[in-house]
Structure 1
Amino acid sequence: MTLGGGSGIIVEQLDDPGMAADCTLTAVGRDGADRLVGLTAGHCGQVGSRLLAEYDPKAGVVGRITAKSEEMDWAVIEFDPARVVPTRRVTQSEINGVGGAPGVGDNVCKNGRTTGFTCGIVWETHPAWFASHVCADHGDSGSPVLRGDQLIGMVVAGKDFQVGPITVPLPSCQGAGDVIHQPDAATDIQMVLRDIDRQAGPGAGFRLI
Protein backbone atom coordinates (compact mmCIF):
# COMPACT_ATOMS: atom_id res chain seq x y z
CA MET A 1 0.00 0.00 0.00
CA THR A 2 1.07 3.59 -0.59
CA LEU A 3 1.91 5.79 2.42
CA GLY A 4 3.47 9.24 2.82
CA GLY A 5 3.42 12.46 4.80
CA GLY A 6 -0.25 13.13 5.63
CA SER A 7 -1.39 9.49 5.61
CA GLY A 8 -3.44 8.31 8.58
CA ILE A 9 -2.09 5.52 10.77
CA ILE A 10 -3.54 3.44 13.61
CA VAL A 11 -1.00 2.84 16.39
CA GLU A 12 -1.15 0.06 18.98
CA GLN A 13 -1.00 1.28 22.61
CA LEU A 14 1.24 -1.10 24.53
CA ASP A 15 0.48 0.62 27.84
CA ASP A 16 -3.28 0.14 27.32
CA PRO A 17 -3.91 -3.24 25.66
CA GLY A 18 -6.85 -3.29 23.29
CA MET A 19 -6.58 0.43 22.56
CA ALA A 20 -5.15 2.22 19.54
CA ALA A 21 -4.35 5.82 18.64
CA ASP A 22 -5.10 7.64 15.40
CA CYS A 23 -2.13 9.67 14.18
CA THR A 24 -0.60 11.02 10.97
CA LEU A 25 2.67 10.25 9.21
CA THR A 26 5.09 13.16 8.86
CA ALA A 27 7.10 11.67 6.00
CA VAL A 28 8.40 8.37 4.65
CA GLY A 29 11.93 7.74 3.42
CA ARG A 30 15.04 5.70 4.09
CA ASP A 31 17.63 6.02 6.83
CA GLY A 32 21.39 5.66 6.68
CA ALA A 33 21.09 1.86 6.93
CA ASP A 34 18.67 1.90 3.96
CA ARG A 35 15.69 0.86 6.09
CA LEU A 36 12.28 2.04 4.92
CA VAL A 37 11.21 4.36 7.74
CA GLY A 38 8.60 6.93 8.61
CA LEU A 39 8.30 9.71 11.17
CA THR A 40 5.40 10.66 13.44
CA ALA A 41 4.82 12.24 16.85
CA GLY A 42 6.40 10.42 19.79
CA HIS A 43 3.26 10.47 21.93
CA CYS A 44 1.44 8.36 19.32
CA GLY A 45 2.87 5.09 20.66
CA GLN A 46 5.68 3.18 22.32
CA VAL A 47 8.75 1.41 20.99
CA GLY A 48 7.39 -1.89 19.69
CA SER A 49 3.91 -0.57 18.87
CA ARG A 50 2.50 -2.06 15.67
CA LEU A 51 0.89 0.10 12.98
CA LEU A 52 -1.97 -0.27 10.54
CA ALA A 53 -2.71 1.97 7.57
CA GLU A 54 -5.94 3.81 8.34
CA TYR A 55 -7.35 3.54 4.84
CA ASP A 56 -6.93 -0.27 4.80
CA PRO A 57 -6.59 -1.64 8.36
CA LYS A 58 -7.67 -5.13 7.29
CA ALA A 59 -4.45 -5.40 5.29
CA GLY A 60 -2.64 -5.96 8.58
CA VAL A 61 0.51 -4.66 10.25
CA VAL A 62 2.67 -2.47 8.01
CA GLY A 63 5.37 -1.47 10.51
CA ARG A 64 6.45 -0.88 14.10
CA ILE A 65 7.83 2.01 16.15
CA THR A 66 11.51 1.26 16.71
CA ALA A 67 12.76 4.51 18.28
CA LYS A 68 11.26 7.57 19.96
CA SER A 69 11.97 10.61 22.10
CA GLU A 70 9.68 11.74 24.88
CA GLU A 71 11.42 15.12 25.15
CA MET A 72 11.40 16.02 21.45
CA ASP A 73 8.14 14.11 20.81
CA TRP A 74 9.17 12.14 17.71
CA ALA A 75 8.93 8.48 16.77
CA VAL A 76 10.61 6.46 14.03
CA ILE A 77 8.62 3.72 12.32
CA GLU A 78 10.28 0.86 10.47
CA PHE A 79 8.02 -0.25 7.64
CA ASP A 80 7.82 -3.64 5.98
CA PRO A 81 9.24 -2.81 2.52
CA ALA A 82 7.25 -5.69 1.03
CA ARG A 83 4.01 -4.02 2.15
CA VAL A 84 4.61 -0.27 1.87
CA VAL A 85 5.25 1.89 -1.17
CA PRO A 86 6.50 5.37 -0.15
CA THR A 87 5.11 8.51 -1.73
CA ARG A 88 5.87 12.20 -1.44
CA ARG A 89 2.33 13.23 -2.42
CA VAL A 90 -0.79 12.71 -0.29
CA THR A 91 -3.93 14.58 -1.43
CA GLN A 92 -2.95 18.27 -1.89
CA SER A 93 0.50 18.12 -0.29
CA GLU A 94 3.80 17.10 -1.86
CA ILE A 95 7.08 16.91 0.06
CA ASN A 96 10.12 17.51 -2.14
CA GLY A 97 12.68 18.54 0.44
CA VAL A 98 13.42 19.55 4.02
CA GLY A 99 13.41 23.29 4.71
CA GLY A 100 14.55 25.63 7.45
CA ALA A 101 12.51 27.05 10.30
CA PRO A 102 9.76 29.57 9.44
CA GLY A 103 9.54 33.18 10.52
CA VAL A 104 6.64 34.98 12.16
CA GLY A 105 4.09 35.86 9.49
CA ASP A 106 5.04 33.02 7.12
CA ASN A 107 2.14 31.11 5.60
CA VAL A 108 2.46 27.37 6.21
CA CYS A 109 0.24 24.37 5.56
CA LYS A 110 -0.29 21.00 7.19
CA ASN A 111 -1.82 17.73 6.01
CA GLY A 112 -3.53 15.61 8.66
CA ARG A 113 -5.83 12.59 8.78
CA THR A 114 -8.49 14.43 10.85
CA THR A 115 -8.76 17.95 9.44
CA GLY A 116 -7.06 17.45 6.08
CA PHE A 117 -4.97 20.02 4.23
CA THR A 118 -5.15 23.46 5.88
CA CYS A 119 -2.97 26.56 5.96
CA GLY A 120 -2.33 29.44 8.36
CA ILE A 121 0.05 32.13 9.58
CA VAL A 122 2.98 31.44 11.91
CA TRP A 123 2.31 33.30 15.20
CA GLU A 124 5.49 32.62 17.18
CA THR A 125 8.84 30.89 16.81
CA HIS A 126 11.25 29.24 19.26
CA PRO A 127 14.54 27.35 18.86
CA ALA A 128 12.88 23.90 18.71
CA TRP A 129 9.27 24.65 17.76
CA PHE A 130 6.83 27.15 16.32
CA ALA A 131 3.10 27.87 16.59
CA SER A 132 0.82 28.63 13.68
CA HIS A 133 -2.84 29.00 12.78
CA VAL A 134 -2.99 25.80 10.73
CA CYS A 135 -6.08 23.83 11.69
CA ALA A 136 -5.38 20.62 13.63
CA ASP A 137 -7.26 18.36 16.03
CA HIS A 138 -6.89 14.95 17.67
CA GLY A 139 -5.46 12.48 15.17
CA ASP A 140 -3.43 15.16 13.37
CA SER A 141 -0.41 14.55 15.63
CA GLY A 142 2.57 13.92 13.39
CA SER A 143 1.14 15.89 10.48
CA PRO A 144 3.77 17.40 8.18
CA VAL A 145 3.93 21.20 8.23
CA LEU A 146 5.02 22.57 4.87
CA ARG A 147 6.23 25.83 3.40
CA GLY A 148 5.48 25.23 -0.25
CA ASP A 149 6.79 21.74 -0.95
CA GLN A 150 9.40 21.86 1.84
CA LEU A 151 8.88 19.92 5.09
CA ILE A 152 9.60 22.27 7.99
CA GLY A 153 7.75 20.85 10.99
CA MET A 154 5.68 18.16 12.70
CA VAL A 155 2.39 18.93 14.46
CA VAL A 156 2.54 17.80 18.10
CA ALA A 157 -0.08 19.74 20.10
CA GLY A 158 -2.53 22.60 20.37
CA LYS A 159 -1.73 25.54 22.63
CA ASP A 160 -3.47 28.52 24.16
CA PHE A 161 -3.27 31.84 22.36
CA GLN A 162 -1.10 34.46 24.09
CA VAL A 163 -1.82 38.18 23.86
CA GLY A 164 1.03 39.74 25.80
CA PRO A 165 0.64 38.54 29.40
CA ILE A 166 -2.93 37.34 28.77
CA THR A 167 -3.74 33.71 27.96
CA VAL A 168 -6.79 33.24 25.75
CA PRO A 169 -8.12 29.66 25.81
CA LEU A 170 -9.63 28.66 22.48
CA PRO A 171 -11.21 25.42 21.23
CA SER A 172 -9.35 23.03 18.96
CA CYS A 173 -10.04 23.36 15.26
CA GLN A 174 -12.92 21.33 13.84
CA GLY A 175 -11.88 21.53 10.19
CA ALA A 176 -11.30 23.80 7.22
CA GLY A 177 -13.37 26.97 7.53
CA ASP A 178 -13.15 27.02 11.34
CA VAL A 179 -11.53 30.43 11.80
CA ILE A 180 -11.52 30.79 15.61
CA HIS A 181 -9.42 28.03 17.14
CA GLN A 182 -6.27 27.52 19.18
CA PRO A 183 -2.87 27.74 17.50
CA ASP A 184 -1.05 24.49 16.87
CA ALA A 185 2.50 23.77 17.97
CA ALA A 186 4.91 22.01 15.62
CA THR A 187 8.46 20.87 16.25
CA ASP A 188 11.17 22.17 13.90
CA ILE A 189 11.89 19.20 11.60
CA GLN A 190 15.59 20.10 11.37
CA MET A 191 15.85 19.81 15.17
CA VAL A 192 13.96 16.50 15.07
CA LEU A 193 16.27 15.02 12.43
CA ARG A 194 19.38 16.16 14.31
CA ASP A 195 18.03 14.55 17.48
CA ILE A 196 17.35 11.29 15.62
CA ASP A 197 20.90 11.38 14.22
CA ARG A 198 22.33 11.89 17.72
CA GLN A 199 20.68 8.67 18.88
CA ALA A 200 22.42 6.83 16.01
CA GLY A 201 19.66 4.22 15.76
CA PRO A 202 16.74 3.60 13.41
CA GLY A 203 15.97 6.72 11.37
CA ALA A 204 19.46 8.24 11.63
CA GLY A 205 20.47 9.68 8.27
CA PHE A 206 16.82 10.04 7.19
CA ARG A 207 16.29 11.07 3.58
CA LEU A 208 13.22 11.41 1.41
CA ILE A 209 12.84 9.00 -1.49
Structure 2
Amino acid sequence: MFNKLARAARAAFAVAVGAALLGTGAGVAHADPGPAIGGGSGIIVDNQYECTVTTIGHDSAGRLVGLTAGHCGEAGSQVWAESDRGAGVIGTFAYSDHDLDYAVIEFTNVVPVNRVGNVTIASLGAPAQFPAIACKEGRTTGNTCGITWGDVFQTDETWTQMCVVEGDSGAPVVIGNTLVAMVNAYLAVACFGPEVGTNMSAIMNDMNTNHGGVGAGFTPI
Protein backbone atom coordinates (compact mmCIF):
# COMPACT_ATOMS: atom_id res chain seq x y z
CA MET A 1 0.00 0.00 0.00
CA PHE A 2 2.83 2.40 0.93
CA ASN A 3 4.53 1.83 -2.46
CA LYS A 4 1.28 2.55 -4.31
CA LEU A 5 0.77 5.77 -2.34
CA ALA A 6 4.40 6.83 -3.02
CA ARG A 7 4.06 6.21 -6.74
CA ALA A 8 0.79 8.16 -6.82
CA ALA A 9 2.39 11.05 -4.96
CA ARG A 10 5.37 11.15 -7.33
CA ALA A 11 3.05 11.12 -10.34
CA ALA A 12 0.94 13.95 -8.94
CA PHE A 13 4.07 15.96 -8.17
CA ALA A 14 5.39 15.48 -11.75
CA VAL A 15 2.07 16.64 -13.21
CA ALA A 16 2.03 19.71 -10.96
CA VAL A 17 5.62 20.66 -11.86
CA GLY A 18 4.94 20.17 -15.56
CA ALA A 19 1.86 22.38 -15.39
CA ALA A 20 3.80 25.07 -13.56
CA LEU A 21 6.60 25.04 -16.14
CA LEU A 22 4.14 25.26 -19.01
CA GLY A 23 2.43 28.17 -17.32
CA THR A 24 5.69 30.14 -17.13
CA GLY A 25 7.11 28.98 -20.44
CA ALA A 26 10.06 27.35 -18.68
CA GLY A 27 11.24 23.97 -19.83
CA VAL A 28 9.50 24.26 -23.23
CA ALA A 29 11.76 23.49 -26.18
CA HIS A 30 11.54 25.70 -29.28
CA ALA A 31 12.97 24.78 -32.67
CA ASP A 32 15.70 27.09 -33.98
CA PRO A 33 14.17 28.95 -36.94
CA GLY A 34 17.58 29.16 -38.60
CA PRO A 35 19.57 32.16 -39.90
CA ALA A 36 17.96 35.03 -41.80
CA ILE A 37 18.83 34.77 -45.50
CA GLY A 38 18.03 37.19 -48.33
CA GLY A 39 19.53 39.04 -51.25
CA GLY A 40 22.91 40.25 -50.00
CA SER A 41 23.53 37.49 -47.42
CA GLY A 42 26.96 35.89 -47.38
CA ILE A 43 27.16 32.13 -47.90
CA ILE A 44 29.89 29.51 -47.76
CA VAL A 45 29.74 26.87 -50.49
CA ASP A 46 31.25 23.42 -49.91
CA ASN A 47 33.15 24.84 -46.94
CA GLN A 48 35.54 26.75 -49.20
CA TYR A 49 33.91 29.32 -51.51
CA GLU A 50 32.45 32.63 -50.32
CA CYS A 51 29.60 34.09 -52.36
CA THR A 52 26.46 36.21 -51.97
CA VAL A 53 22.78 35.31 -52.29
CA THR A 54 20.97 37.26 -55.04
CA THR A 55 17.43 36.80 -53.75
CA ILE A 56 15.21 34.27 -51.99
CA GLY A 57 11.59 33.26 -52.53
CA HIS A 58 9.35 30.40 -53.62
CA ASP A 59 9.03 28.58 -56.91
CA SER A 60 5.74 27.43 -58.42
CA ALA A 61 5.89 24.20 -56.40
CA GLY A 62 6.20 26.11 -53.12
CA ARG A 63 9.88 25.26 -52.55
CA LEU A 64 12.02 27.85 -50.77
CA VAL A 65 14.75 28.68 -53.27
CA GLY A 66 17.36 31.34 -53.92
CA LEU A 67 19.87 32.40 -56.52
CA THR A 68 23.60 33.07 -56.64
CA ALA A 69 26.32 33.12 -59.28
CA GLY A 70 26.78 29.88 -61.21
CA HIS A 71 30.54 29.76 -60.71
CA CYS A 72 30.02 29.53 -56.94
CA GLY A 73 29.09 25.82 -57.03
CA GLU A 74 27.69 22.84 -58.88
CA ALA A 75 24.59 20.68 -58.48
CA GLY A 76 24.77 19.07 -55.04
CA SER A 77 27.08 21.71 -53.53
CA GLN A 78 26.23 22.40 -49.89
CA VAL A 79 25.59 25.84 -48.45
CA TRP A 80 26.29 27.34 -45.01
CA ALA A 81 25.24 30.76 -43.75
CA GLU A 82 28.31 32.93 -43.24
CA SER A 83 26.55 34.67 -40.34
CA ASP A 84 25.81 31.39 -38.54
CA ARG A 85 28.08 28.50 -39.48
CA GLY A 86 26.80 26.64 -36.43
CA ALA A 87 23.39 26.27 -38.05
CA GLY A 88 24.87 23.63 -40.33
CA VAL A 89 23.94 23.07 -43.95
CA ILE A 90 21.07 25.39 -44.90
CA GLY A 91 20.76 24.58 -48.59
CA THR A 92 21.90 22.62 -51.61
CA PHE A 93 22.59 23.71 -55.19
CA ALA A 94 19.86 22.30 -57.43
CA TYR A 95 21.82 23.20 -60.57
CA SER A 96 24.23 25.73 -62.06
CA ASP A 97 23.86 27.27 -65.49
CA HIS A 98 27.28 28.27 -66.78
CA ASP A 99 26.05 30.01 -69.92
CA LEU A 100 24.31 32.72 -67.89
CA ASP A 101 26.42 32.07 -64.76
CA TYR A 102 23.60 31.64 -62.25
CA ALA A 103 22.68 28.86 -59.83
CA VAL A 104 19.51 27.82 -58.01
CA ILE A 105 19.74 26.85 -54.33
CA GLU A 106 17.03 24.96 -52.49
CA PHE A 107 17.01 26.21 -48.89
CA THR A 108 15.98 24.53 -45.63
CA ASN A 109 15.91 25.83 -42.04
CA VAL A 110 16.29 29.52 -42.86
CA VAL A 111 14.22 32.64 -42.29
CA PRO A 112 13.72 34.32 -45.70
CA VAL A 113 13.97 38.11 -45.72
CA ASN A 114 13.68 40.74 -48.44
CA ARG A 115 16.08 43.23 -46.85
CA VAL A 116 19.78 42.77 -46.09
CA GLY A 117 21.96 45.76 -45.24
CA ASN A 118 20.84 48.72 -47.35
CA VAL A 119 19.10 46.73 -50.09
CA THR A 120 15.41 45.81 -50.11
CA ILE A 121 14.02 43.62 -52.91
CA ALA A 122 10.34 44.27 -53.60
CA SER A 123 10.10 43.08 -57.20
CA LEU A 124 11.94 41.84 -60.29
CA GLY A 125 12.43 44.21 -63.21
CA ALA A 126 13.82 44.80 -66.68
CA PRO A 127 17.53 45.44 -67.27
CA ALA A 128 18.85 48.80 -66.11
CA GLN A 129 19.73 51.38 -68.73
CA PHE A 130 22.25 54.22 -68.93
CA PRO A 131 22.47 56.53 -66.96
CA ALA A 132 20.53 54.93 -64.05
CA ILE A 133 22.32 54.51 -60.72
CA ALA A 134 22.43 50.86 -59.66
CA CYS A 135 23.34 49.55 -56.21
CA LYS A 136 24.31 46.17 -54.83
CA GLU A 137 24.72 44.46 -51.43
CA GLY A 138 27.67 42.05 -51.32
CA ARG A 139 29.15 39.98 -48.51
CA THR A 140 32.62 41.47 -49.11
CA THR A 141 32.18 45.14 -50.01
CA GLY A 142 28.67 45.71 -48.66
CA ASN A 143 26.54 48.38 -50.28
CA THR A 144 28.03 50.21 -53.27
CA CYS A 145 26.44 52.12 -56.14
CA GLY A 146 27.46 53.38 -59.56
CA ILE A 147 26.29 54.47 -62.96
CA THR A 148 24.79 51.89 -65.32
CA TRP A 149 26.39 51.46 -68.74
CA GLY A 150 23.76 48.97 -69.91
CA ASP A 151 23.98 45.78 -71.98
CA VAL A 152 27.09 46.85 -73.86
CA PHE A 153 27.38 43.83 -76.15
CA GLN A 154 23.73 42.66 -76.12
CA THR A 155 24.62 39.47 -74.24
CA ASP A 156 22.01 39.51 -71.44
CA GLU A 157 24.54 41.27 -69.19
CA THR A 158 24.50 44.73 -67.63
CA TRP A 159 27.68 46.69 -67.02
CA THR A 160 27.78 49.07 -64.05
CA GLN A 161 30.43 51.09 -62.26
CA MET A 162 29.80 49.59 -58.80
CA CYS A 163 32.68 48.42 -56.62
CA VAL A 164 32.82 44.59 -56.41
CA VAL A 165 35.52 42.11 -55.45
CA GLU A 166 35.77 38.38 -54.79
CA GLY A 167 32.95 37.13 -52.59
CA ASP A 168 30.46 39.63 -54.01
CA SER A 169 29.57 37.12 -56.76
CA GLY A 170 25.80 36.67 -56.84
CA ALA A 171 25.06 39.96 -55.09
CA PRO A 172 21.73 41.59 -56.02
CA VAL A 173 21.89 44.58 -58.37
CA VAL A 174 18.94 46.88 -57.78
CA ILE A 175 17.43 50.08 -59.07
CA GLY A 176 15.59 51.37 -56.03
CA ASN A 177 13.80 48.28 -54.66
CA THR A 178 13.70 46.45 -57.99
CA LEU A 179 16.09 43.55 -58.61
CA VAL A 180 17.44 43.87 -62.15
CA ALA A 181 20.63 41.75 -62.24
CA MET A 182 23.20 39.83 -60.21
CA VAL A 183 26.93 40.42 -59.79
CA ASN A 184 29.09 37.96 -61.74
CA ALA A 185 32.51 39.54 -62.37
CA TYR A 186 34.58 42.69 -62.66
CA LEU A 187 36.81 43.72 -65.54
CA ALA A 188 40.44 44.85 -65.19
CA VAL A 189 40.94 46.11 -61.61
CA ALA A 190 38.58 45.37 -58.72
CA CYS A 191 36.43 48.39 -57.80
CA PHE A 192 37.79 50.38 -60.75
CA GLY A 193 36.91 48.36 -63.83
CA PRO A 194 33.24 47.88 -64.72
CA GLU A 195 31.16 45.21 -62.94
CA VAL A 196 29.39 42.75 -65.23
CA GLY A 197 26.23 40.94 -64.15
CA THR A 198 23.54 38.77 -65.72
CA ASN A 199 20.13 40.38 -66.16
CA MET A 200 17.33 38.93 -64.04
CA SER A 201 14.99 38.87 -67.04
CA ALA A 202 17.36 36.47 -68.82
CA ILE A 203 17.72 34.31 -65.70
CA MET A 204 13.96 34.08 -65.11
CA ASN A 205 13.32 33.16 -68.75
CA ASP A 206 16.01 30.47 -68.65
CA MET A 207 14.75 29.03 -65.35
CA ASN A 208 11.22 28.75 -66.69
CA THR A 209 11.83 27.58 -70.25
CA ASN A 210 15.09 25.63 -70.27
CA HIS A 211 15.35 24.08 -66.83
CA GLY A 212 11.92 23.78 -65.23
CA GLY A 213 11.72 21.93 -61.91
CA VAL A 214 13.38 23.61 -58.93
CA GLY A 215 13.23 27.40 -59.28
CA ALA A 216 10.69 27.56 -62.12
CA GLY A 217 7.98 30.14 -61.51
CA PHE A 218 10.14 31.98 -58.96
CA THR A 219 8.60 34.77 -56.90
CA PRO A 220 10.76 36.74 -54.43
CA ILE A 221 9.77 37.08 -50.76
Q: Structure 1-normalised TM-score?
A: 0.86
Equivalence for 1:184: 195
Give the aligned partner of residue 90 of structure 1.
116
Q: Which residue of 2 aligns with 1:22?
A: 50
2:187 and 2:59 map into 1 onto residues whose CA distance is 32
Is the 2:128–2:150 Cα contact (8 Å) retained in structure 1?
Answer: no
Contact 1:67 1:201 in 2 (8 A): no
Q: C-alpha displacement at 1:102, in angstroms?
A: 1.0
Amino acid corresponding to residue 125 of structure 2 in structure 1: G
Aligned to 1:195, what secondary structure does the other structure show?
helix
Q: Conserved in 2, the CA contact under 8 Å of 1:122 and 1:130?
A: yes
Structure 2 unaligned spans of 5+: 1-34
Distance 2:213 2:169 in 1: 23
Three-state SS of the structure 1 residue aligned to 2:198 is strand
- RMSD of the alignment, in Å? 1.0
Q: TM-score, normalised by structure 2?
A: 0.81
Gaps of 5+ in 1: 13-18, 161-170, 174-180
Q: Which is richer in helix?
A: 2
Structure 1 CA distance for aligned equivalents of residues 119 and 206 of structure 2: 25
Q: What does 1:70-149 correspond to in 2, within 5 Å?
A: 70-80=98-108, 83-125=109-151, 126-149=154-177
> Where in structure 1 do 4 or more consecutive aligned residues deviate above 3 Å?
none
How many Å separate the matches in 1 of 2:99 and 2:127? 19
Structure ranking higher in strand proportion: 1
Deviation at 1:127, TM superposition (A): 4.4
Distance 1:124 1:39 in 2: 22
Task: Please state if 1:7 is matched with 2:41.
Answer: yes
Give 1 or 2 for the bigger CA radius of gyration: 2
